[in-house]
Structure 1
Amino acid sequence: MINYILLACFSIILFLPLLVKRIEHNIELFLFVMAVAAVTSSHLVGPEPAWSLKLLELSLTEPIKISLATLVFGFLFRVFQETIKKRIAYLEERMGPRFFAFITIFSLGMISSVITAIIAALILCEIVSALNLDKKYETIFTILACFSIGMGAVLTPIGEPLSTIAMAKLHGGAYDVGFLFLLRLIGAYIIPGMLFIALLGGLLRGKEVERPESLSEFYAESYRIIALRAAKVYLFVMSLILLGAGFKPLIDAYITKMPGRVLYWVNMSSAVLDNATLAAAELSPHMDIGQIKGVMMGLIISGGMLIPGNIPNIISASKLGISSRAWAVIGVPIGLFMMGAYYLVLYFS
């Protein structure tokens, strides 16, 4: 019975944000309510109670690093925003447009693991706003850069909620889950993929147009908005940690028994649900390395296909006015190609 209740909770989390705009716009609070419900439900079964001091401590302390990084880099970025804008056009002219596109996409992916995916996405929006290229190419450029950011950010636990949750969920098992664990585990797959995406962005470089024909962000962020975003990130990550604990009976009963190559394709659902949410539900310290790789790589790649799949997508689409349809037309084919390519590399090489 408890598994049916948890399956109902998972279905609600999966579909309700897609159907109700108000929930989509208040996703952090919604996930917190559902996380409390899931943990309370699973509290009724199992040898150990789901609610514990250890879980409360983990859920309260683990989000601090990424939310603090979001706050600090957000304030710094706001202070130097105008200086950054002035340098973008100069750098593009000195580097050449194609090399500038290549180095920008790759660099944003790499530094996102340090400055967080959220700040990398904000820098991306400033770069795109400063360019005077045709709207179609700027949309492609933005989506490719978000793929790169989403991939690079997972290499450290402060990069984005997915990596933060993954590290928290894998503690307590047989693995040495240190700061560089994910870099060692999937870095050899992620970095070549980022290079490919950056190369594609350089080769597809668009033409110069008048400013109204380009993408541009709608408003400059205030310090209040920056602080509010950091608070939302804290609540978001805390909710995902609680969700992972709440879904433990489901994970133990079904997910941990699936082979890595099945989990890889199952996680294409990350395209419509933030990949950190799925990581919270699926990852377990009892999984083998193949299963962990399958979960992580499936989540990372498919998370770039649609706007809801990843935080950089949501920020960039909102600030630059990219529609869900425009994103899907570009993001889905790129994501499917990369899913197929990585599947061959992971399981047939």
Structure 2
Amino acid sequence: MIIGLTIILLLVLFLPFTKVVEKNLEVFLFIMGLAAVLVSQVLDWELTKEALVHPINITLAVLIAGLLFRWFQGPIEKGILGLSRAMPYRLFIALFVIVIGLISSVITAIVAAIILAAVVSILRMDRKSEIRLVILACFAIGLGAALTPIGEPLSTIVVGKLNEDFFYLLKLVGSSVIPAVIIFGILAAFMVKSREELSHTQMAAGKESNAEAKSKTKTVTETESYAEIIIRSLKIYLFVMALTFLGAGFEPFIERYLLDLSPLILYWINMLSAVLDNATLAAAEISPAMDAPTIKAILMGLMLSGGMLIPGNIPNIIAAGKLKITSLEYARFAFPVGLIAMVAYFIVILITG
């Protein structure tokens, strides 16, 4: 069983970067999830029901938001562009990432990701800046949403399992999460450029024609068809179902090899959160017998690594799906950023004890 799960994990890690799998990522992850639960022999009616029901709310949220943004595209575009022009552009970007990250703990990570995708699709950016903004904002959302039990499944499970109050996670990890969200906002301000800035750069360099420049940017007024909105929602449904199966399938692997390890080792092993549901890992690893520093280290490892690859967190999945960001495009920037963040916080853990 363990050999089979190890093979599945390696396939999930590396095959999404191939062109064939990348174009059919949702189907691939679903097949891998199904394989995982079959290898672990945990597939039963209860799990099947959970896999069928769990994605419904997320899918409906994505579908409804897509329809609303289609119907009210004009006013929404004018509002967002007007706000972005009312202040220095980089300040707007920084504030957007910080605010969306922090309020995700109240509006949920799902709604925050939908807003992120909508705003980024409206802002005038080159492709590279667009991807960077999405990734940095997804890191911020993944962190910020964990501050309350309503923000995301990970925080709900942890608070419930520890039988703590609503503000427990804010008190436990807030001093680390809030500065991290602010840092991601500042990084975004310096690492993205507006379409106007890109145009000026291209004109000064004289290296691209107008046609080439336009081909690298999206038309802001482009309207999604109903078919595109529905197909994207169905893909999200399949994606979440796949993650549910993957999480359940790997529970025996986690219980056998991870639970007795040192928190400092678990911190790094929790990079598995880049491809597995972090709520599942948290449910398996967190115990009321642990002290606060240990729980904090485990949670920070899960939250930081969750932004490193598209399957790692729901916001990544929603934003990447909406903006057609491929696994390779995402990982090229997100993996090194996440790794640097992991190293930085590990140093903080060692210093603070």
How does the TM-score come out when normalised to structure 1? 0.74
Specify the alignment match of 1:46 in structure 2.
none
The offset of 1:333, in angstroms, is: 5.0
Counterparts of 2:34 and 2:335, CA distance in 1: 33
Q: Does 1:196 align with 2:183?
A: yes
Answer yes or no: is the 8 Å Cα contact 1:128–1:215 preserved in 2. no
Q: Note the 1:55-204 alignment, pairs <5 A.
A: 55-113=47-105, 117=109, 120-121=112-113, 123-128=115-120, 130-131=122-123, 140-155=132-147, 163-164=152-153, 167=156, 174-176=161-163, 186-202=173-189
- TM-aligned CA distance change 1:321 to 1:250, over 3 Å: closer
The offset of 1:193, in angstroms, is: 0.9
Q: Does 1:15 align with 2:32?
A: no
Q: Does 1:237 align with 2:240?
A: yes
The offset of 1:254, in angstroms, is: 0.3
Answer yes or no: is the 8 Å Cα contact 2:148–2:167 preserved in 1. yes
Answer yes or no: is the 8 Å Cα contact 1:274–1:308 preserved in 2. yes
Deviations 1:65-93 (A, max 9, x none): 32232222232222222212112232123
Local SS of the residue matching 2:259: helix
Aligned length, in residue pairs: 333
Deviations 1:213-249 (A, max 9, x none): 7743685322333233333323322332232222222
Counterparts of 1:156 and 1:67, CA distance in 2: 22
Local SS of the residue matching 2:67: helix
Counterparts of 2:13 and 2:331, CA distance in 1: 18
Q: Does 1:221 align with 2:213?
A: no
Deviations 1:34-69 (A, max 9, x none): 3233223322xxxxxx34444344333333332232
- TM-aligned CA distance change 1:295 to 1:57, over 3 Å: farther
Answer yes or no: is the 8 Å Cα contact 1:69–1:115 preserved in 2. no
Counterparts of 1:249 and 1:135, CA distance in 2: 41
Letter of the 2:181 partner, please give it.
M
Deviations 1:71-116 (A, max 9, x none): 2223222222221211223212323323312211112223445656
Local SS of the residue matching 1:90: helix
Specify the alignment match of 1:274 in structure 2.
275
Counterparts of 2:191 and 2:36, CA distance in 1: 46
Letter of the 2:26 partner, please give it.
E
Mark the runs of 5 or more structure 2 residues left unpaired by the alignment. Answer: 200-209
- TM-aligned CA distance change 1:344 to 1:198, over 3 Å: same
Local SS of the residue matching 1:236: helix
Q: 1:337 aligns with which of 335, 340, 345?
A: 340
Q: 1:33 aligns with which of 27, 31, 34?
A: 31
- TM-aligned CA distance change 1:189 to 1:226, over 3 Å: farther
Counterparts of 1:226 and 1:317, CA distance in 2: 14
Local SS of the residue matching 2:143: helix
Q: Note the 1:280-299 alignment, pairs <5 A.
A: 280=280, 283-284=283-284, 287=287, 288=290, 293-299=296-302
The offset of 1:194, in angstroms, is: 0.9
Q: Does 1:300 align with 2:299?
A: no
What fraction of aligned residue pairs are identical, expressed as a percent? 42
Answer yes or no: is the 8 Å Cα contact 2:154–2:282 preserved in 1. no
The offset of 1:264, in angstroms, is: 1.8
Specify the alignment match of 2:204 in structure 1.
none
Q: Note the 1:303-342 alignment, pairs <5 A.
A: 303-305=306-308, 310=313, 312-313=315-316, 331-332=334-335, 334-342=337-345
Superposition RMSD on alpha carbons, in Å?
Answer: 3.9
